[in-house]
Amino acid sequence: MTYENILSDSHNGITTITINRPKKLNALNRNTIKELHEAFDSANQDPDTKVIIITGSGEKAFVAGADISEFADFNVEEGGKLAAQGQELLFDFVENLSTPVIAAVNGFALGGGLELAMACHFRVASTNARMGLPETSLGVIPGYGGTQRLPQLVGKGRAMEMIMTAGMIDANQALSYGLVNYVVEQEGLLDFCKKISTKIMHNSSMAIAEAIKAVNANFKDGVNGFDIEIKAFGDCFGTEDFKEGTTAFLEKRKANFPGK
Ligand code: COA
C-alpha cells in the first residue's frame, strides 16, 4: 500500500510507521490521520506484525501537532467534529489496538504529536525531543485526548502545569515525569525500540493483547478493570498459547507460540 504522507515498512515482525511531512514538521492534517488509521489497521491485522513502532521523518520532529492551517477558520461544530473524528480514527484506535505500539519520539512532540505518543502503549525519546501541549497558547485546549492521557501518565498537577503554561519539557524531564520510559541518542532510537520489540515478540501475542485490554480497562469510565482482568485471565486458559507456554516451562525449553 502506498501513502502520500506516511511510510510503512515491515521487517522481522516489526512494522515501522513513519509520518513523512518533514517540511511541516510532520504536522497531522486530516489526510495523514486517515492514512495513519489505515496503516495501523493493516499492521494490526497482519499476522506477521508483532510490534508496531511509530516515528517521525527527519531529525527535528516526531509530530509538531495538528495542522493548524487546516482548522484556523473552523466554527464550533467543525471544531467538535475534528476532535471526535480524530479521537475515533487515530488516538483511541491506537490505544486499543491489540498489537503493541511503541512511540519513538525523535524530536518535537507537541499538541496532537504528544497526544499521539501518549495514545501509544509506551514511549522512548531521543535526547533532542521536546514535548508539550501548547494548545492554550492558540486559544484552544488539547482535543485528541491530551487532557485525559497526560494526567494519567504524569499526574494531575504536572499535567495542569504543562497545559496551563503551554510550555515544552525536554527528554530528561519527560523521563523523570514517567512520560517516556527511556531517553537514547537519536541515531540509536529506532534500534533501541527494535530491541525492546524483539523482547516483546518472544512472548505470547494473545496474552499481550489481553493484557493491553485489561490495563486499558483501568482508565475507562464505568468499567471494572478487575472484572476485565479476571475474564481475560480465564480466557487465556482456553488457548494454544497458554498450553504451549506452560508446557515449555515444565519441559525446560523456550516457548514457541503459534503467533497472532
Ligand atoms: N501545523 C501546521 N504547520 C506547522 C505546524 C503545525 N502544528 N508546526 C510546524 N508547522 C510548519 C510551519 O508553519 C513551517 O512551515 P513553512 O515553512 O511553510 O512556514 C514548518 O512547519 C517549519 O516550522 P517552523 O515554525 O519554521 O520551525 P521552527 O524550528 O522555527 O519551530 C516549532 C518549531 C515546533 C517550535 C514551531 O513550528 C511550532 O511552534 N509549531 C506549532 C506547535 C503547536 O502549537 N502545535 C499544536 C497544534 S494544536
Supply the pTM of this predicted model. 0.98
Indicate whether residue 67 lines ligand 1 (CB < 6 A). yes
pLDDT (0 to 100) of residue 256: 95
- The secondary structure of 72-139 as a DSSP string is TT--HHHHHHHHHHHIIIIIHHHHT-SS-EEEEE-SEEETHHHHHHHHSSEEEEETT-EEE-GGGGGT
Residue 8: strand pairing partners: 17
CA–centroid distance, 17 to ligand 1, in Å, is: 21
Active-site annotation holds for 135: yes
Could you tell me which of 72, 80, 85, 6 has the C-alpha nearest to residue 43? Answer: 6
pLDDT higher than threshold 90 for residue 239: yes
Angle at 162 between CA 159 and CA 166, to 5 degrees: 145
The pLDDT assigned to 231 comes to: 97
51-56 and 101-105 beta bridge pairing? parallel
Give the residue, by CA position, lying nearest to ligand 1 atom 16. Answer: 24
Q: Reduce the DSSP state of residue 4 to 3 states and report it.
A: coil
> What pLDDT was estimated at residue 29?
97
Task: Specify the pLDDT at position 1.
Answer: 78
CA of 133 to the centre of ligand 1 (A): 13
Task: Examine the pLDDT at 260 and tell me if it is beyond 90.
Answer: no
Q: Phi first, then psi: what are they for 191, rounded to 5°? A: -60, -40
pLDDT digits (tens, 9 = 90+) for 71-104: 999 999 999 999 999 999 999 999 999 999 999 9
- Residue 79 Cβ < 6 Å to ligand 1: no
Q: In the predicted model, what is the mean pLDDT of residues 192-218?
A: 97
User: Could you read off the pLDDT of 96-123 as tens digits, one per residue?
Assistant: 999 999 999 999 999 999 999 999 999 9
